Amino acid sequence: MPPIDCIVESFIETHGKLINAKTPIIHTIGYEGRSLDEFIQTLKEHNIHAVVDVRELPLSRKKGFSKTRLSNILNNNGIEYTHMKNLGAPKELRNGLKSKKMTYKEFSILYKKHLNEQADSLKKLLEYALSKSCVLMCYERDWKVCHRRIIVEYMRNAGFEVIHI
């Protein structure tokens, strides 16, 4: 069994009763095409208390969405910010997808291999997401073409309900 599947199985064994009592929820969001104000408003509308940034490199050409500025703005709005670099898609995978040298299916296979090496980070995410209402954030607005899709597959398997906002 790959390490990441062991983490999910262990999580279910540890938290099974809690999950059976009330299904935990994880949200996902992409900031593509959103203003910073719209982004913050959407988080507030969905009662989000923490943003988990799953970009490998938390920089953006879009004003307000780079790590330091975004963290400050979120904190000023009562929302925690956490960057989980290890859950980000490695540059060579992002570039391969962007340049069309690989399909999303090929990207998914390689990203899952990467995630297998980041099992501890996924475990931290599962524990963190149990403790507060949080959202996984990346650039792509459409979660179906983002690595968030793959992360939440594991979270679903661990008993989470996934809501894309």
pLDDT in tens, 93-132: 999 988 989 998 999 999 999 999 999 999 999 999 999 9
Does the pLDDT value for residue 3 go beyond 70?
no
Does the pLDDT value for residue 57 go beyond 80?
yes
* Higher per-residue pLDDT: 99 or 77: 77
Taking residues 13-34, what's their average pLDDT? 80
C-alpha distance from residue 153 to each of 119, 143, 157 (Å): 14, 12, 6
Q: How confident is the model at residue 22 (pLDDT cuts 50, 70, 90)?
A: confident
pLDDT at 2: 62
Taking residues 78-105, what's their average pLDDT? 94
pLDDT digits (tens, 9 = 90+) for 25-53: 999 999 999 999 999 999 999 999 999 99
Does the pLDDT value for residue 12 go beyond 90?
no
**Reduced to 3 states, what is the DSSP secondary structure of residue 51?**
strand
Q: Quick one: fold of 3-164? A: Protein-Tyrosine Phosphatase; Chain A (3.90.190)
Contact predicate 135/51, CB 8 Å: yes
pLDDT at 76: 98
pLDDT at 9: 76
pLDDT at 15: 66
For the chain, the average pLDDT equals: 91
**CA atoms in the 13 A half-sphere facing the CB of 60:** 23
How many CB atoms neighbour CB 87 within 10 A?
25
Does the pLDDT value for residue 65 go beyond 80?
yes
**CA atoms in the 13 A half-sphere facing the CB of 150:** 23
**Reduced to 3 states, what is the DSSP secondary structure of residue 155?**
helix
pLDDT at 20: 55
DSSP conformational letter for 163: E
